[in-house]
């Protein structure tokens, strides 16, 4: 499946389930002085989550162009050595503004991954919020996932991993990630791989379902939002690499033409790579150039 088909199949899936397809907002936010660049799919819906804006639809889906080069969500230093981080990327997302919540959002994600894209269910590992700093455990999300996967595949994590916020203030909430097991051919330096908690690349987060419940103020206080909502995000580049069975995002059809053109201009050849090979200095440099070219255009 080509990247364009992955993108369109995501949008079409949610359109069939009553979501309005909304075009990507500008990379430079028009009316949010807190952001240098759009860094998440939910940016253009911030006022809808806060109850300040009423849209003509209660469900939306987007493929949002994003840039992360500074601030809390910053991947700049990872670009090149990492197989899956970029400054510019597309974030696939589905959103509910007080319409549906966890009971529908989690099955939506599961069915797309397993019934539309046909990812092996046994390779999918969900996480839920374990409870921390006075914020209770997400019993509801855990119960929903328990009806879809064996309980021992559900991982409970804390604030750092399973509580999402756009920034220091604003809409936020507990979240549930879906991680994909890429296979044991991926190297791991530990005597026994720790799975999702491990620093190796065997497991990769592919989707984050955020349950928008709170508005955080400058003092860190959490106030319930006017209506509980859904904000999800999935990196197009990552899911394309998974679906196409590639070692890295850079081996997909999103980057191959750029890397070929860079090779033509420099006389260098990118790759090939296997799961047990780290990219050499030339490949890292070519990745950085390819990433930045996408960001510029």
Supply the pLDDT for residue 71. Answer: 64
> For strand 20-21 and strand 59-67, is the pairing parallel, antiparallel, or unpaired?
parallel
Q: What is the pLDDT of residue 73?
A: 62
Q: Residue 297's pLDDT is what?
A: 78
Whether cis (ω within 30° of 0) applies to the bond prior to 272 is yes
CA pair distance 110, 126, nearest whole angstrom: 10
Three-state SS string across the chain, please? Answer: CCHHHHHHHHHHHHHHCCCEECCCCCCCCCCCCCCCCCCCCCHHHHHHHHCCCCCCCCEEEEEEEEECECCCCECHHHECCECCCCCEEEEEEEEECCCCCHHHHHHHHHHHHHHHCCCCHHHEEEEEECCECCECCCHHHHHHHHCCCCHHHCEEECHHHHEEECCCCEEEEEEEEEEEECCCCCCCCCCCCCHHHCCCCCEEEEEEEEEEEEEECCCCCEEEEEEEEEEEEEEHHHHHHHHHCCCCHHHCCCCHHHHHHHHHHHCCCCCCCCCCCCCCHHHHHHHHHHHHHHHHC
Structure tokens at 115: 């019934």
pLDDT for res 72: 63
The sign of the CA dihedral 284, 183, 201, 237 is: positive
**pTM exceeds 0.75, yes or no:** yes
pLDDT of amino acid 33: 85
What is the chain's Cα-based Rg?
Answer: 19
* pLDDT at residue 156 in the model: 97
| Residue-level pLDDT at 34 | 82
Residues of the chain scoring pLDDT < 50: none
Q: Which domains does the chain have, with CATH numbers?
A: 3-296 (3.30.930.10)
């Amino acid at each position: 499946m080509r990247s364009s088909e992955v993108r369109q199949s995501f949008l079409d899936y949610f359109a069939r389930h009553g979501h309005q397809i909304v075009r990507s907002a500008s990379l430079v936010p028009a009316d949010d002085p807190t952001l240098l660049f759009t860094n998440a799919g939910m940016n253009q819906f911030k006022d809808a989550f806060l109850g300040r804006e009423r849209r003509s639809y209660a469900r939306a889906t987007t493929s949002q162009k994003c840039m992360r080069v500074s601030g809390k969500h910053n991947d700049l230093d990872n670009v090149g050595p990492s197989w899956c981080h970029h400054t510019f990327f597309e974030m696939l997302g589905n959103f509910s503004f007080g319409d549906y919540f966890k009971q529908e959002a989690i099955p939506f994600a599961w069915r797309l991954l397993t019934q539309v894209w046909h990812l092996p269910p046994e390779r999918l590992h969900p996480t839920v919020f374990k409870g921390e700093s006075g914020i209770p455990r997400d019993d509801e999300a855990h119960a929903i996932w328990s009806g879809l996967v064996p309980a021992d595949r559900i991982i409970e994590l804390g604030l750092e991993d399973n509580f999402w916020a756009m920034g220091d203030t604003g809409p936020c909430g507990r979240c549930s990630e879906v991680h994909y097991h890429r296979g044991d051919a991926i190297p791991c330096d530990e005597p026994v791989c720790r799975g999702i908690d491990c620093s190796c690349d065997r497991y990769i987060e592919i989707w984050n379902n955020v349950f928008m419940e709170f508005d955080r103020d400058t003092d860190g206080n959490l106030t319930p939002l006017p209506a509980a909502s859904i904000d999800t995000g999935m990196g197009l580049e990552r899911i394309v690499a998974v679906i196409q069975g590639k070692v890295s995002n850079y081996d997909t059809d999103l980057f191959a033409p750029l890397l070929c053109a860079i090779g033509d201009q420099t006389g260098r050849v990118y790759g090939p790579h296997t799961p047990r090979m780290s990219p050499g200095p030339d490949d890292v440099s070519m990745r950085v150039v390819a990433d930045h070219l996408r960001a510029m255009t």
